[in-house]
Structure 1
Amino acid sequence: MIYFSPRQVPELKQFTLTERAALVLQAQHLMPTPRRWLANMIKLVVLSALFVLLINVQGWYWQVLTLLAAGLSYPLLLQPVNLNLARPYIPQAVAAAKRQSDIVVNEAEHH
C-alpha cells in the first residue's frame, strides 16, 4: 500500500502530528545509504522538473504564481516518497522512541 500521509501509517496512528513527523524523520535516518541516496535522487528529479517548468513561464506575474505553486506542491509530492521509502524503518523508530520515553519516565520516578 502507498501512504500519502503519516496519519495513514498504522504504527503512527497513536501519535500526535509532531510525534509522527519526528518518527518519520527518525526512520529516514535509519535507512541504509543506498535507500537514502535513492530518496535524494528522486527529490532532485522533482526539484529539477519544477525548476524547468518555472523557467519556461513567461511574465513575472505568472512566474511568481508558478513559483508559489511549486513551493506549495513540493512537500505534497515528496512526502509520499519519503514516507514510503522510510516505511520499513518506522517500527524501529517507534520502538526506539518508546524505549527513550520509558527511560525518561523511570528517571523521573527515581528523583
Structure 2
Amino acid sequence: MGGNLLSNYGEAIAMILFGIGFSNLLLQKNLIKKIIGLNIMDTAVYLFLAEKGFIMGRKAPIVVDGIQAVENYINPVPSGLVLTGIVVSVSVTALMLSLTIRLYRRYHTLDLDEISARLKKEGL
C-alpha cells in the first residue's frame, strides 16, 4: 500500500471535507449553517472510518461457502462504528434543530451574535 495521495484519495477527501465542515462551524453566524457544518464533519469522519476499514479483495465478515480464514474478510469494527455514529449524529442533529427552533421562536433570529447580545441585555 503506497503512501501517496493517489492511493489514499478517500482519506484525503475525508480530511478536506472535515476542514470544510470545521471552517463552516467556526466562521458562520447562522445556527442552521453551523449545524450543516457539524454534519459535514460527521460525514467526513464516517468516510474516513469506512476507508480505513475497507480492504480490496476482501468480503464482508459473513461466513459463506465454508471459508472461515480471517484473511478473506474485512474488519467489522469500523463498519459498526460508522453505523453507531450515524445513529448518534441523527439524534444530535434533531436535538440541535429543535433547540434552534426554540431560539428562533424566542429571539426571531438565527444569528448567534445577535442572540448572544440579547442574552447579555436580558442579564442571563
Q: TM-score, normalised by structure 2?
A: 0.34
* More helix by percentage: 1
Query: Whose RCO is larger (CA < 8 A, sep 6+)?
Result: 1
Bigger-Rg structure (1/2):
2
